[in-house]
Amino acid sequence: MSTTAYNVINEPGAKPIKAWTRGVQLEDEARQQLINIAKLPFVHGWLAVMPDVHLGKGATVGSVVPTIGAIVPAAVGVDIGCGMIATRTTLMASDLPDDLRGLRHAIESAVPHGRTLGRRDKGAWETPPDATLSGWQALASDFKLITDKYPRLSRTNNLHHLGTLGTGNHFVEVCLDEEDRVWFMLHSGSRGVGNAIGTHFIELAKEDMRRWMINLPDQDLAYLPEGSEHFGDYVFAVDWAQRYARTNRAIMMQHVVDAARKVITKPFEAWAEAVNCHHNYVSREHHLGKDVFVTRKGAVSAKKGELGIIPGSMGTRSFIVRGLGNEESFNSCSHGAGRVMSRTQAKKQITLEEHRKATAHVECRRDADVIDESPAAYKPIDAVMKAQEDLVEIVHTLRQVVCVKG
């Protein structure tokens, strides 16, 4: 009987794959995608796979890819810096209004999202507020350095998306912890500008592969070698997008707090505990005796003592966790529950009645447009947490009472 908490996938010509997937599903397509990544010559040591793993574009969601001498832009993806922020308030459940619809509507009004008509597209500011303008000041000069070389990136909604939520699985929630204390939590990233940066450099990497006649098992695994023409620019742009994403979450959280203060009559403080973490990003780290680039796509840093957030699906539980510093996982953990259905599949298989029943205890939307985010489209969060007991310890268990979806 194995004493490890993970399964090992060994394939000829590939680095080992250590998968924390006991008790959860690992689809065949995702397994093959992982093997393709593990065959890249610059992977350092092994791949680490988190229990929320599922098929992704280019690289597998829920994967941790350490590399030396190259980065795969598609392994980072186009939602660069996507992540979570959560803050505990001094409010208790009894301080919330009996009818939570007013609180949900106040948050929806305060944070532009997928259902908000804006300046150029859904979910953009018409006139950016002071917090957005202030946040942009810290980002503008480095963005100009990027756009001076890549002018097409200037045509994004960069300023007007700062402080906005986005669509899909991005959300804002009001939660209660095990002591009935009130938390605000949200999920978002670098929005349209991050998407443009990711897409642009993925295409540049593909062009390089064609020019150098490098054959890959999947063209989305095109990479940028260190020292090549675009490598440094990509590292700089990704770091900028990650800073944008972190700033984006902080601005939105302040707007959520301000909105709540207009609805909740009791004065409260909002920063009793706070966590802000990425789960689609590149980090320079030291592992197995080497300085490496660690790409986490749908994974969170879980260094020893480091706090992180693992959200469940819409209508289930979420967790504030503390990292255990497991080097086998390159100090990582899952970023959520992980999908078991594609969005198209979920819309075909989950009925509106099933969605309403699964979210009956949460003040949220229950229309056909959010069925692809229904709990049944995701892995059971308890099984995901069980599979990574040697990666993190649970600090707080949160249950949603309000959910705003993009």
272-318: pLDDT as tens digits: 889 999 999 999 999 999 999 999 999 999 999 999 999 998 888 99
CATH number of the domain enclosing 201: 3.90.1860.10
Q: Are 233 and 259 in contact (CB under 8 A)?
A: no
Give me the mean pLDDT over the 97-126 stretch: 83
Residue tagged active-site, from 278, 335, 355, 396:
335
Q: Are 228 and 136 in contact (CB under 8 A)?
A: no
- When the pLDDT of each residue in the chain is averaged and rounded to a whole number, the result is 94
In a domain, 357, yes or no: no
Distance CA 100, CA 83 (A): 26
Q: Are 9 and 39 in contact (CB under 8 A)?
A: no
Distance CA 262, CA 184 (A): 15
What are the structure tokens assigned to 257, written together? 């707090």
Distance CA 111, CA 122 (A): 12
What are the structure tokens assigned to 201, written together? 């450099």
Distance CA 182, CA 355 (A): 25
In a domain, 37, yes or no: yes
In a domain, 354, yes or no: no
Per residue in 196-226, pLDDT tens? Answer: 999 999 999 999 999 999 999 899 999 999 9
Distance CA 214, CA 212 (A): 6
- Paired with 173 in beta bridges are 185, 403
Per residue in 146-163, pLDDT tens? Answer: 999 999 999 999 999 999
Distance CA 377, CA 380 (A): 10
User: In this model, does residue 76 exceed pLDDT 50?
Assistant: yes
In a domain, 159, yes or no: yes
What are the structure tokens assigned to 73, written together? 């832009």
| Residues 240, 192, 102: CA angle, nearest 5 degrees | 110
Distance CA 403, CA 406 (A): 10
DSSP for 147-206 reads: HHH-GGGGGS-TTTTTT---STT-EEEEEE-TT-EEEEEEEE--HHHHHHHHHHHHHHHH
In a domain, 185, yes or no: yes
In a domain, 1, yes or no: no
Domain span holding position 133: 7-340+378-405
Q: How confident is the model at residue 126 (pLDDT cuts 50, 70, 90)?
A: confident
Helix (H, G, I), strand (E, B) or coil at 385: helix
Give me the mean pLDDT over the 47-56 stretch: 96
Distance CA 51, CA 267 (A): 40
Phi, psi of 184 (to 5 degrees): -110, 140
Q: How many CB atoms lie within 10 A of CB 189?
A: 28
Lowest mean pLDDT among 6-10, 223-227, 248-252, 364-368: 364-368
Report the sign of the C-alpha dihedral through residues 258, 259, 262, 268, in that order: negative
User: In this model, does residue 122 exceed pLDDT 80?
Assistant: no
What pLDDT is recorded for position 116? 58
Q: What percent of the chain shows pLDDT beyond 90?
A: 87
What pLDDT is recorded for position 1? 33
In a domain, 169, yes or no: yes
Among the listed residues 194, 197, 192, the one whose alpha carbon sits nearest the alpha carbon of residue 150: 197
What are the structure tokens assigned to 280, written together? 């689609």
Distance CA 116, CA 84 (A): 21
Q: Are 83 and 187 in contact (CB under 8 A)?
A: yes
Lowest mean pLDDT among 167-176, 287-296, 389-398: 167-176
Phi, psi of 328 (to 5 degrees): -60, -30
Task: Write out the H or E segment, with its range, that includes residue 396.
Answer: strand 392-405
What are the structure tokens assigned to 247, written together? 């700033």
Q: How many CB atoms lie within 10 A of CB 119?
A: 14
What pLDDT is recorded for position 2? 44
Q: Residue 279 catalytic? A: no
How many structural domains compose the chain? 1
In a domain, 31, yes or no: yes
Q: How many CB atoms lie within 10 A of CB 150?
A: 17
Give me the mean pLDDT over the 40-57 stretch: 96
Cα dihedral: 372, 374, 379, 382 (round 10): 160
Among the listed residues 86, 100, 88, 94, the one whose alpha carbon sits nearest the alpha carbon of residue 266: 94
